[in-house]
């Protein structure tokens, strides 16, 4: 099914007014979707149900026994593959840290109204599947093909466009792009794309099309909603007479480090309580632009910074890296900041880089802690 206009349903996109609280529409998304509870970064591989989830429409009702992936368009031999056939092909497993492109959106000011993530839309899984390159080689890519368009089975309307969720990648695709049928050694859970999804290591989550049912090779860049309208870094155009900024596409994950909150929490404020003395501060850091080469911590709100010890990526170049730094907690209130720098030289900003859709906000995390006498 092609995308088509559907008017009168979608509210217009908007930016929250200064000081405007989260609305019931944003809350309904926050209640459906969920982030990683930050203490679960203790697990190198995120257990089922703790990995972040963002579903645009409904989780479709799928059946692995009848599922078909069609591969068509600008190629020599169209294919139609069932799960049984895909599972019989040579597979590889990749440990991949995935992050929603909208992570950090609710920290932007003014706030773009959409799924209101704070910092927790991340997770790491072992994805097993067939390299997409192998399937495309079997189909025989035509010389004029420039992109592959991936269609998921989830269906809805978004900003006036009725659509299946659909995204493209330029050809040739990377060698680690997978048609994944297995997550952490078992079948994909419904909310992670059962029975088949695309995995595009290093890219934000919008590229990893879930409930994958069709791949079409095309001879011109895909201009569908999720590619050309959503998921672009756009400046603000305050003047309605000015044409909207077409923006740059959202692609690879920007670097980020997160702290496993130390001590114990207050239920409502999530402030952390510690007793004075030595404490190991630890967490994870990742980037889609290359290995993280430096993690710095500030325990005084940014006045001074110290280098943490960062674990090298080892055999998992697409997975987050552990880091730690020992700290002696003195009584009082502190703000802990943590900042990652990757091998490409990118580093996390202290102030938010604003954009219209609220994408890629990797400003440094600030964690309030209260160190109180025993």
Instruction: For residue 83, give Cα distances in angstroms to 40, 70, 178, 340.
Output: 31, 12, 14, 39
**Distance between CA atoms of residues 182 and 173, nearest Å:** 20
DSSP state of 173: P
- Tokens of residue 117, six digits: 């993530």
Residue 270 is a binding residue for a second copy (CB under 8 A): yes
Out of 9, 88, 137, 142, which residue is the one contacting a second copy (CB under 8 A)? 9
Residue 11 is a binding residue for a second copy (CB under 8 A): yes
Residue nearer to a second copy on the CB measure, 115 or 287: 115
Smallest gap, in angstroms, from Cβ of residue 176 to a second copy? 25
**Distance between CA atoms of residues 99 and 53, nearest Å:** 9
Residue nearer to a second copy on the CB measure, 15 or 22: 22
Q: Under rule CB under 8 A, which residues in 75-114 are in contact with a second copy?
A: 106, 113-114
Smallest gap, in angstroms, from Cβ of residue 353 to a second copy? 20
Residue nearer to a second copy on the CB measure, 143 or 267: 267
Name which of 319, 296, 283 is nearest 98 in CA terms: 319
**Distance between CA atoms of residues 216 and 6, nearest Å:** 24
Tokens 């702290």, residue located = 259
Q: Using CB atoms within 10 Å of the CB of residue 296, give its burial: 0 to 12 exposed, 13 to 18 middle, 19+ buried.
A: buried
Residue nearer to a second copy on the CB measure, 145 or 337: 337
How would DSSP label each residue in 106-162? GGSSSPBSSS---S--EEEEEEEEEEHHHHHHHH-B-TT--EEEEEEEEEEEETTEE
Stretch that binds a second copy, among 33-41, 277-285, 307-315, 339-347 (CB under 8 A): 33-41
Residue 140 is a binding residue for a second copy (CB under 8 A): no
Helix (H, G, I), strand (E, B) or coil at 226: helix
Residue nearer to a second copy on the CB measure, 162 or 296: 162
Q: Using CB atoms within 10 Å of the CB of residue 64, give its burial: 0 to 12 exposed, 13 to 18 middle, 19+ buried.
A: middle
Residue 157 is a binding residue for a second copy (CB under 8 A): yes
Stretch that binds a second copy, among 7-15, 207-215, 285-293, 354-362 (CB under 8 A): 7-15
Stretch that binds a second copy, among 50-58, 63-71, 303-311, 335-343 (CB under 8 A): 50-58
Residue 15 is a binding residue for a second copy (CB under 8 A): no
Which residues contribute to the site for a second copy (CB under 8 A)? 6, 8-11, 20-35, 37, 39-40, 42-43, 47-51, 53, 55-59, 61, 106, 113-114, 116-118, 120, 155-159, 162, 189-192, 261, 264-271, 273, 370, 372
């Amino acid at each position: 099914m092609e995308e088509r206009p559907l008017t009168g349903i979608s509210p217009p996109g908007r930016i929250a007014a200064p000081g405007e609280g989260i609305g019931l529409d944003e809350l309904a998304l926050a209640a459906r979707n969920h982030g990683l509870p930050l203490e679960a970064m203790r697990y190198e591989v995120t257990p089922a149900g703790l990995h972040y989830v963002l579903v645009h429409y409904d989780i479709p009702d799928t059946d692995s026994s009848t599922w078909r992936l069609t591969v068509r368009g600008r190629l020599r031999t169209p294919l139609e593959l069932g799960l049984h056939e895909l599972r019989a092909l040579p597979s590889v497993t990749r440990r991949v840290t995935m992050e929603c492109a909208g992570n950090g959106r609710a920290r932007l000011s003014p706030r773009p109204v959409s799924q209101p993530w704070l910092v927790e839309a991340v997770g790491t899984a072992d994805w097993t599947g067939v390299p997409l390159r192998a399937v495309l080689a079997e189909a025989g890519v035509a010389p004029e093909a420039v992109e592959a368009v991936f269609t998921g089975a989830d269906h809805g309307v978004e900003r006036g466009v009725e659509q299946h969720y659909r995204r493209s990648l330029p050809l040739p695709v990377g060698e680690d792009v997978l048609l994944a049928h297995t997550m952490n050694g078992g079948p994909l859970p419904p909310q992670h794309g059962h029975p088949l999804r695309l995995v595009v290591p290093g890219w934000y989550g919008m590229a990893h099309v879930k409930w994958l049912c069709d791949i079409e090779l095309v001879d011109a860049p895909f201009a569908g909603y999720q590619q050309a309208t959503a998921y672009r870094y756009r400046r603000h155009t305050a003047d309605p007479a000015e044409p909207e900024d077409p923006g740059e596409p959202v692609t690879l994950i920007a670097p980020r480090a997160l702290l496993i909150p130390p001590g114990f929490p207050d239920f409502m404020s999530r402030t952390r309580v510690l007793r004075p003395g030595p404490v190991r501060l630890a967490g994870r850091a990742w980037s889609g632009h290359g290995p993280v080469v430096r993690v710095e911590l500030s325990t005084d709100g940014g006045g001074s910074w110290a280098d943490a010890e960062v674990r090298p990526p080892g055999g998992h170049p697409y997975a987050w890296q552990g880091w730690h730094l020992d700290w002696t907690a003195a009584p009082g209130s502190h703000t802990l900041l943590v900042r990652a720098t990757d091998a490409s030289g990118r580093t996390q900003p202290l102030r938010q880089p604003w954009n219209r859709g609220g994408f890629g906000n990797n400003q440094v995390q600030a964690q309030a802690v209260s160190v109180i006498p025993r």
